[in-house]
Amino acid sequence: MAMIDISDKETIYRESQASGWIELSEDTMELIKRKEIKKGDALMVAEIAAIQAIKHTPNLIPHCHQILVQSVEVNYEILPNGIKVIVSVAAYGQTGVEMEALTGVSIALLTLWDMVKYLEKDEHGQYPHTFIHQIQVDYKVKHNDE
């Protein structure tokens, strides 16, 4: 077992966008919109968590190379029954930033779940109507700026 050798790869601009969404109850969505979640502003906390996760991706995924991330953008789409998280990551490097974007989305969604789990639980402590959907790479680009 070994990490892939990228020493011969050219350092170029790389960008990736990933997304996914969490399905939540209508009542929970209203409290998120009004910023009335007990733990704080759910979207702000999820954004910070996504940025932290992106920085720590090589620590979480064993074969992932360390990349000097140049920029991160976290956006949300409020859906009638949930929240879509869209994360874009850019860097100049020898390998892509798809894993960083996917990690950011995943942790943002998990953070949203954590922020609202007290609202989403049923009387048995289960989450019958809370789901994370469609975590995916929307696109990736790489190009030399010359």
Give residue 143's identity as a one-letter amino acid code: H
Q: What is the pTM of this model?
A: 0.93
Q: Is the pLDDT of residue 74 over 80?
A: yes
Average pLDDT over residues 32-55: 96
Strand 82-93 relative to strand 69-79, pairing = antiparallel
Whole-number Cα distances in Å, 32 to 8, 25, 28, 38, 44: 47, 11, 6, 10, 11
Would you name the residues annotated as active-site residues? 114
91-126 confidence digits (pLDDT tens): 998 888 999 999 999 999 999 999 999 999 999 999
Superfamily of domain 26-135 in CATH is Molybdopterin cofactor biosynthesis C (MoaC) domain (3.30.70.640)
State residue 17 phi and psi, 5-degree precision: -125, 135
